Amino acid sequence: MAIIQLHDKKFIKYISSKEIDRIITKIAKQLNEDYMDEPPLILVTLNGAIVFAADLLKQLQFSSVLSCIKLSSYQGTTSTENMKTLIGLNEDVQGKRVLIIEDIVDTGKTYQTLAELLNQKGAKEIRIVTLTMKPDAYKLNLPVHYVGINIPDLFVVGRGLDYNGLGRNLPDIYQLYEI
Ligand code: 5GP
């Protein structure tokens, strides 16, 4: 279906599941080249990145320890200044390469918070892989190492991304549809 409704808002199909699968395979290939010699600790940001991470991890050919962290800055369709740690970092990252898996990089606030935390804990190298990125909203100088697809600064759902809890299970990505 091209248009769906979640709570009070309508969303229109924007990136097909097939295209997303193709993008993920391409990223996995690159990660396999870059990390085969020294695999990283993989840090998945909950809840949004779960779906992308599951698809990506199945295609990675190196062995990595997997850990999860949960930060929250979004309410509805807007980012807030308050970054809360809802589930903290349990793994020892001292001297390790770390690869963060994100569903979306928007302003970069989440990434910045994670990078600061991982630096404090002595990570040797910090990189990030994200399924989607909004370059027009991004406010940092930190490099975003692996980007699946750049998108405009519009609210999207699907493939792990939610609107107030709904939409994560959608295989395609949808954009906010305002008439
Ligand atoms: P940042 O900290 O980079 O501003 O935002 C990252 C987080 O905000 C993401 O992990 C995601 O939870 C949320 N976010 C940012 N943009 C969107 C969007 O377009 N749709 C959804 N569903 N979440 C978003």
* Predicted pLDDT at 80: 59
Among 106, 129, 150, 177, say which to mutate for ligand 1: greatest number of ligand atoms within 8 Å of CB: 106
127 in a structural domain: yes
Q: Which domain, by its residues, includes 106?
A: 17-60+69-174
9 in a structural domain: no
3-state secondary structure of 14: strand
82 in a structural domain: yes
Tens digit of pLDDT for each residue in 40-99? Answer: 999 999 999 999 999 999 999 999 999 999 987 656 666 656 677 888 888 999 999 999
94 in a structural domain: yes
3 in a structural domain: no
Instruction: Report the domain count for the chain.
Output: 1
How many alpha carbons fall within 13 Å on the CB side of residue 133?
20
134 in a structural domain: yes
* Predicted pLDDT at 85: 80
The yes-or-no verdict on residue 179 having pLDDT over 80 is: no
The total of other beta-carbon atoms located within 10 Å of residue 57's CB is 14
2 in a structural domain: no
Q: Choose, from 55, 106, 153, 172, the residue flagged as catalytic.
A: 106
The packing angle between helices 17-35 and 50-57, to 10°, is 60
Surface-to-core class of residue 111, CB atoms within 10 Å of its CB (0-12 exposed, 13-18 middle, 19+ buried): buried
According to DSSP, the β-strands at 125-133 and 97-105 are: parallel
* Predicted pLDDT at 1: 66
Tens digit of pLDDT for each residue in 24-43? Answer: 999 999 999 999 999 999 99
* Predicted pLDDT at 90: 86
165 in a structural domain: yes
Catalytic residue flag (residue 106): yes
* Predicted pLDDT at 87: 86
The yes-or-no verdict on residue 165 having pLDDT over 80 is: yes
Mean pLDDT, range 1-29, rounded to an integer: 96
Tens digit of pLDDT for each residue in 84-139? Answer: 788 888 899 999 999 999 999 999 999 999 999 999 999 999 999 999 999 999 98
Q: What is the CATH number of the domain that holds 170?
A: 3.40.50.2020
| Closest Cα to atom 4 of ligand 1 | 107
